[in-house]
């Protein structure tokens, strides 16, 4: 049985999307490597805040059909570069029950092991439903800070939390909460909460717009385009949220989620992220996917298991989904909003089916899970969005038909084998494409 201290996967616990019946041997192996990772590694693999992706990587390739041998091989390759876990401080851990003390230790990565131990104890004592509602959705100062930090670090904490929820692993939920605790909190005051205030002030009388409608409007706003500049050291903090905060908030606040339309808006959000990622191409360069945009895609998958949770209120679910869609627009705008080239997707040849795409993703020699997460999310999105095909454009869904499989082919074909050339980092900037070759 899985506990806050023990990771234990079973073939039946295969998440919202898996490829086939999973074996006991692969479930045993994935549990073993994830336990080793939790006990021996930090949440950052270097001192620059780059994230340990082992949880993401291992769980994804497991449900895509990787053998125990492949899981072990990929784990060993990825674990070599991880930082060892830091020592725990029992005095700090025992003090984290006080809200103000808790907040005083936030943002400091040295306290990751303390927060992890604290949340393991909280989950063991109170259970997952109570802990998530208390620490993310209660509305007090600590919960609001934790909720905004979930989207920090290019949404890595909430991805980790999502894996824990999807695979019913309290220990991985504890890791996600601990990760959020040591991330900085600037998205809340600069973006997430201002967009909520503007949306609330506008009320329900304002016409509802889809994400792709807002993208079309944002792209032609030259002031907003100019606010994203090549070389910004922070994805958002010293870029568009400093140069054009009012414009960003104005546009992003216009995407809202009625509480009676969660399923439709989930499909719309997922479709939109895949649309802006797959179409962000350079007309003269080889096909590449934007490293920042794929994070918006990869997070999308976890909103299905999150929205299915029976113990979260409808209000909390709608609010969280609104945050996700607005952060997607922020990520997209921060890379200078490249013109969408949908014909690059429509004209792409299909030469692989999903099984081959999945196999190529989980055996990739240098990927750390980004590629396998991406193709799994696209395949899941195809199932999620298919029921809206009849009026897809009206609902803001521009990826339809066989485009899903074409995008899967594009992703695997474009990844190559060298990690430094797998992704373009900022597809709206011409400078980001300089190192890549011409279209063949």
Structural tokens at position 242? 């400093």
Reading the block at residue 230, the tokens are 């090549």
Q: What is the pLDDT of residues 176-213, one digit of tens each?
A: 999 999 999 999 999 999 999 999 999 877 889 999 99
> Using one digit for the tens of pLDDT, what is the confidence trace for 379-421?
999 999 999 999 999 999 999 999 999 999 999 999 987 778 8
Q: Which class for 221: exposed (0-12), middle (13-18), buried (19 or more C-beta within 10 A)?
A: middle
pLDDT at 57: 97
| Residues in CB range of 62: below 8 A, 6 or more apart | 9, 22, 26, 27, 30, 71
Query: Which two three-digit tokens encode residue 30?
Result: 């994935």
**Please, which pLDDT band fits residue 238 given cuts at 50, 70 and 90?**
confident
Closest CA to 379 of 409, 350, 351: 409
Residue partners of 21: CB distance under 8 A and separation at least 6: 11
| Each residue's pLDDT tens digit, 292-310 | 999 999 999 999 999 999 9
User: What's the confidence (pLDDT) of residue 302?
Assistant: 98
pLDDT per residue as tens digits for the range 309-321: 999 999 999 999 9
* 8 Å CB contact between 333 and 224: yes
The overall pTM is greater than 0.85: yes
274 closest CA partner among 253, 293, 254? 293
**What average pLDDT does range 260-280 have in this prediction?**
98
């Amino acid at each position: 049985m899985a506990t806050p201290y023990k990771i234990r996967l079973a073939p039946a616990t295969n998440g919202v999307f898996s490829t086939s019946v999973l074996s006991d041997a692969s479930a045993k192996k994935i549990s073993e490597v994830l336990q080793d990772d939790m006990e021996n590694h930090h949440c950052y693999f270097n001192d620059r805040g780059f994230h340990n992706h082992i949880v993401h990587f291992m769980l994804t390739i497991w449900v895509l059909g990787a053998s125990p041998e492949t899981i072990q091989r990929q784990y060993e390759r990825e674990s070599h570069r991880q930082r060892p876990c830091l020592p725990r401080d029992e005095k700090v851990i025992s003090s984290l029950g006080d809200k103000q003390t808790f907040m005083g230790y936030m943002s400091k990565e040295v306290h990751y092991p303390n927060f992890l131990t604290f949340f393991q104890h909280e989950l063991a004592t109170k259970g997952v439903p109570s802990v998530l509602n208390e620490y993310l959705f209660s509305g007090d100062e600590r919960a609001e800070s934790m909720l905004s930090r979930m989207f920090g670090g290019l949404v890595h904490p909430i991805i980790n939390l999502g894996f824990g929820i999807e695979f019913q692993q309290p220990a991985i939920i504890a890791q996600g909460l601990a990760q959020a605790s040591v991330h900085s909190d600037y998205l809340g005051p600069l973006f997430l909460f201002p967009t909520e205030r503007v949306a609330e002030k506008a009320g329900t009388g304002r016409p509802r717009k889809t994400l792709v409608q807002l993208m079309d409007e944002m792209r032609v706003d030259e002031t907003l385009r100019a606010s994203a500049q090549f070389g910004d050291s922070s994805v958002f903090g010293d870029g568009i949220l400093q140069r054009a905060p009012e414009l960003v908030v104005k546009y992003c606040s216009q995407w809202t989620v009625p509480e009676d339309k969660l399923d439709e808006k989930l499909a719309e959000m997922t479709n939109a992220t895949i649309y802006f990622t797959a179409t962000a191409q350079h007309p003269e360069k080889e096909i590449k996917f934007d490293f920042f945009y794929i994070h918006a895609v990869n997070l999308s998958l976890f909103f299905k298991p999150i929205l299915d949770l029976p113990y979260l209120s409808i209000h909390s679910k709608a609010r969280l989904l609104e945050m996700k869609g607005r952060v997607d627009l922020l990520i997209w705008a921060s890379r200078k909003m490249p013109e969408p080239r949908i014909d690059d997707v429509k004209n792409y040849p299909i030469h692989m089916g999903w099984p081959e795409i999945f196999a190529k993703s989980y055996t990739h020699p240098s990927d750390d899970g980004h590629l396998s997460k991406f193709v799994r999310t696209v395949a899941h999105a195809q199932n999620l969005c298919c029921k809206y095909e009849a009026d897809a454009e009206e609902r803001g869904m521009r990826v339809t038909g066989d485009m899903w499989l074409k995008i899967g082919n594009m992703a695997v074909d474009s990844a190559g084998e060298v990690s430094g050339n797998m992704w373009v980092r900022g597809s709206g900037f011409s400078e980001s494409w300089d190192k890549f070759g011409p279209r063949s």
